[in-house]
A and B are shown apart, each in its own frame.
Chain A
Amino acid sequence: QSVLTQPPSVSGAPGQRVTISCTGSSSNIGAGYDVHWYQQLPGTAPKLLIYGNSNRPSGVPDRFSGSKSGTSASLAISGLQAEDEADYYCQSYDSSLSGSGWVFGGGTKLTVL
């Protein structure tokens, strides 16, 4: 059971726009911690896609965008391409009575139809 909740899968046709949600709680996203997104292509290590809720590292296309509101965040991918087919993970930080640490969503598999 992941601390952050993501839909297990989303899909879209080439050229379309899809969004992936990430829901947390008052001890992580709602506490003001930023949300970050990673893309994991099959058989490879995760790669930073979005940091600080909405910032793209150098080299990440502007088709990828992120936002955060309240206890949730979203990743949007516009102009879908076949190469976007991957697993996507949101990540934040959690601080509660039981301890503090880095937390992830369960991941969302994006299928490009």
Chain B
Amino acid sequence: QVQLVQSGAEVKKPGSSVKVSCKASGGTFSSYAISWVRQAPGQGLEWMGGIIPIFGTANYAQKFQGRVTITADESTSTAYMELSSLRSEDTAVYYCAREVTMIAEGIYYFDYWGQGTLVTVSS
């Protein structure tokens, strides 16, 4: 059974950075891409970007370009999401999720999710 276990809650000051980890087990880490999705309090889901560990290449949502960095360490089956220049609007639960991608069929979805990491940005 695939499991994604994320790091614990964080409290950060405006202008600082946060790095959240997502450790995978029970599957072949390198074969699947990992995405990061966030959910502000009382709000919907928002895709931030993703990475294919075997290639090490990440792609980002336009909204977060330049402010988010997604990396992966195949040796520990762990993906990371670092968000910089934090502001109060970045207060949210951040989820990692495993992507299922079938480009030819136009199928892109998430089959497993981490438990979420609450990041609070406050002065």
Interface residues of A (CB under 8 A from B): 2, 31-34, 36, 38, 45-48, 51-52, 57, 89, 91-93, 98-99, 101-107
Nearest Cβ on chain B to A77's Cβ, whole angstroms: 19
Nearest neighbor of B110 in chain A, beta-carbon distance = A48
Give 15 A-B pairs besides A48-B111, A52-B107, A102-B37 with Cβ atoms closer than 8 angstroms. Answer: A34-B106, A38-B110, A45-B116, A46-B110, A48-B109, A89-B44, A93-B106, A93-B108, A99-B61, A101-B49, A101-B59, A101-B61, A102-B110, A105-B44, A106-B44
Query: Quick one: given A45-B114, A45-B116, A46-B95, are A101 and B109 in contact (CB under 8 Å)?
Result: no
**Tally of contacts, chain A with chain B, CB under 8 A:** 70
| A45 in complex: contacting residue of B35, B61, B113, CB < 8 Å | B113
Main secondary structure of the interface of A (DSSP, over half): strand
> Are A32 and B106 in contact, CB atoms less than 8 angstroms apart?
yes
> In which size bucket is the chain B interface?
20 to 34
Over the window 57-74 of chain B, the binary record of Cβ atoms lying under 8 Å from chain A Cβ atoms (1 yes, 0 no) is 001011000000000000
Q: Please, which residues of chain A bring their CB within 8 A of the CB of B47?
A: 101-104
Is B45 at the interface (CB under 8 A from chain A)? yes
Nearest neighbor of A43 in chain B, beta-carbon distance = B116
